[in-house]
Structure 1
Amino acid sequence: MRNMGVIEGNVPVSDNDWETITRGGDAAIERWIADQMDGKSCTVVLIGSATAGRKWINYEIKKTWGDGKGLVGVYIHNLQDRNQQQATKGNNPFDAFTVDQTPLSRIVKAYDPPYWRSSDVYAYIKDNIANWVEEAILIRNSR
């Protein structure tokens, strides 16, 4: 996703960097997440087969919404992984949250590209992600 070049200011994290961050415990991870979100107006949650319910995904969702930033989800199960495999569609991680008794999944959009072929999914996301981010910011600003 970061390699698409349509989302500015994102730097990939290597597995080694993530291991170093996690060795610092929860407080270090929270600081790292805060640093990553600093100066950003929206969080894009990439929804795979095991995204929903993960501790740090939930933390990012809560923090993003609490900080008044835009929030959008993109299903990526039909993108091939490094083994050229596709995954099963995961649950919507926004289902676990409510805002004024309204499920967050009724407020925040989660886009599911309508293609099976990985290259088509990739192109669809690349062509639309900037608009989805802008829309997410407008949605958040209206709440």
Structure 2
Amino acid sequence: MATRTVFYSFHYERDVNRVQLVRNINALEGQPLLNAQAWEEVKRRGQQAIVNWIDKEMLYKRAVVVLIGQETAGRSWVLYEIEKAWREKKPLVGIRIHGLSSFGSVDRPGANPFDKVSGVHGIPVFDPTRTDWRGVVDSKATYTNLVNNMEGWVAQAKARMW
């Protein structure tokens, strides 16, 4: 049962399958994930429509969880969501998801998106990634680690205090 309502921030095109794995844990309640067709419809209406969607979905959420994949830090909408959460003093936390399987493959770790936003500091970033004895990412062990720790990690989210 979900105990906290959160807004998930992530790179849609690259990581939506990994994000679906995170949502399936059911430790937290997040905004509905748009399918590809619905996301394209929002994008087609322009930048203000995207801003409106983000603002509406983030409005009553208690925290923002940035799911960090290989290219997340380069996504302008993720940076907007981080800036908005910081400005509104919503708790922020990062969780790396590159070690989760997407169609049978894992990714390389990406840059920390919090480092890309001026003035944002002290945000914890957790990495559930586990490797086997050869140093190869074990996506099943990574998922298990995420399941066991996600709720506790989100409880450590940090907000701007001033």
TM-score exceeds 0.5? yes
Identical-residue share of aligned pairs (%): 36
Q: Whole-Å Cα distance in 1 between the matches of residues 75 and 96 of structure 2?
A: 15
In the alignment, is the contact (CA less than 8 A) between 1:2 and 1:11 conserved in 2? Answer: no
Q: Whole-Å Cα distance in 2 between the matches of residues 74 and 9 of structure 1?
A: 14
When the two chains are superposed, the root-mean-square deviation of aligned CA atoms in Å is 1.5
What is the aligned partner in structure 2 of residue 25 from structure 1? 46
In the alignment, is the contact (CA less than 8 A) between 2:129 and 2:138 conserved in 1? Answer: no
What is the aligned partner in structure 1 of residue 67 from structure 2? 46
TM-score, with length taken from structure 2: 0.78
In the alignment, is the contact (CA less than 8 A) between 1:42 and 1:69 conserved in 2? Answer: yes
1:10 paired with 2:31, answer yes
Q: Whole-Å Cα distance in 1 between the matches of residues 129 and 102 of structure 2?
A: 18
Encode CA deviations 1:54-111: one digit per residue, 9 max, x unaligned. 11011111011111101111111111102x0111110101111232xxxx3x400111
Q: Whole-Å Cα distance in 2 between the matches of residues 15 and 111 of structure 1?
A: 28
Would you say how many aligned residue pairs link Structure 1 and Structure 2? 135
Aligned residue for 1:72, secondary structure, equals strand
Deviates further, 29-38 or 127-136: 127-136
1:140 paired with 2:155, answer no
4+ aligned runs moved over 4 Å, structure 1: none
Unaligned runs of 5+ in 2: 1-21, 131-136
Question: Aligned letter for 1:14?
Answer: N
**Which of 100, 108, 111 is the equivalent residue of 1:91?**
111
Q: Whole-Å Cα distance in 2 between the matches of residues 140 and 64 of structure 1?
A: 8
